[in-house]
Amino acid sequence: MTEFNNVDPADIARFTAMASRWWDPAGEMAPLHHINPARTQYIDKVCGGLAGQKVIDVGCGGGLLSEALARRGAEVTGIDLAEASIAVAREHAGASGLAIDYQCVATEAMAQRAPKSFDVVCCLEMLEHVPDPEAIIKACADLLRPGGLAVFSTLNRSPRAFALAIVAAEHVLGLIPKGTHQFAQFIRPSELSRAVMASGLQLVEMKGLHYNPILKNARLNNDLAVNYFLVARKP
């Protein structure tokens, strides 16, 4: 099987160093804890209910989204290339009594191993961290069964995203560690749309995600300027 290296070693090192704190709601992952209810609810809604659905969480990290999906009745597989994060995810799921299949494997390798195996593919806050996001998108499409849905979320390469996700979040408010994001790797909605359609998927909808660090919550809207979702279906 082909060896895949679509990964930023600096990101893997960063997430490995933070792995033990994935489940600390007051730690570096706090913003993910804050937005997780809104994104889980959105995925459940757009999929018409997660109960009984076979779902893969691409770039699952310590399992925040995977566990939330499993609690809604989905049969969840979580994959990530940070071994330390996978170890934390397995331990937490076990302690929580959740049966989640966590694997340390590249998305492209998983697509070769298990093509057309999932009803839903979730790839959230991950595309902006890899050298070749188009390869991840294509692998996500390959993982889907016909009729299945892919749910992507990422950051728009816009002035407002730079101001909020980097200047404010990393340098002013200290919500996340400095260097977490590289503006050049943010993806405009038009770019993501083209890549998704090139992979053979059909666009369903796009939604913005507004995060309020003061109230520590998030809500969906139609503003795609910063964080946004793209949902696509496999014909």
How does pLDDT run across 115-170, given as a tens digit for each residue? 999 999 999 999 999 999 999 999 999 999 999 999 999 999 999 999 999 999 99
The superfamily in CATH containing domain 9-233 is Vaccinia Virus protein VP39 (3.40.50.150)
How does pLDDT run across 80-113, given as a tens digit for each residue? 999 999 999 999 999 999 999 999 999 999 999 9
- 156 neighbors 183 (Cβ within 8 angstroms): no
How does pLDDT run across 16-45, given as a tens digit for each residue? 999 999 999 999 999 999 999 999 999 999
Looking at residue 202, its pLDDT comes to: 98
Which residues 6+ apart lie within 8 Å of 27 measured at CB?
A: 18, 21
Measured distance CA(91)–CA(102) in Å, rounded: 10
- Paired sense of beta strands 202-212 and 227-233, if any: antiparallel
Residue 128 is classified by DSSP as G
Spell out the domain ranges in the chain: 9-233
Of 33, 204, 189, nearest in space to 120 by CA: 204
- 138 neighbors 112 (Cβ within 8 angstroms): no
How does pLDDT run across 174-221, given as a tens digit for each residue? 999 999 999 999 999 999 999 999 999 999 999 999 999 999 999 999
**Given CA atoms 199, 109, 56, 216 in this order, what sign does their dihedral have?**
negative
Looking at residue 1, its pLDDT comes to: 46
Angle between helices 64-71 and 83-95 (to 10 degrees): 30
Whole-angstrom CA distances from 186 to 116, 128, 132, 164 are 28, 5, 12, 13
Angle between helices 9-18 and 83-95 (to 10 degrees): 30
For residue 68, what are its two tokens? Answer: 């939330």
Whole-angstrom CA distances from 47 to 31, 41, 64, 123 are 24, 10, 19, 14
114 falls in which pLDDT band (50, 70, 90)? very high
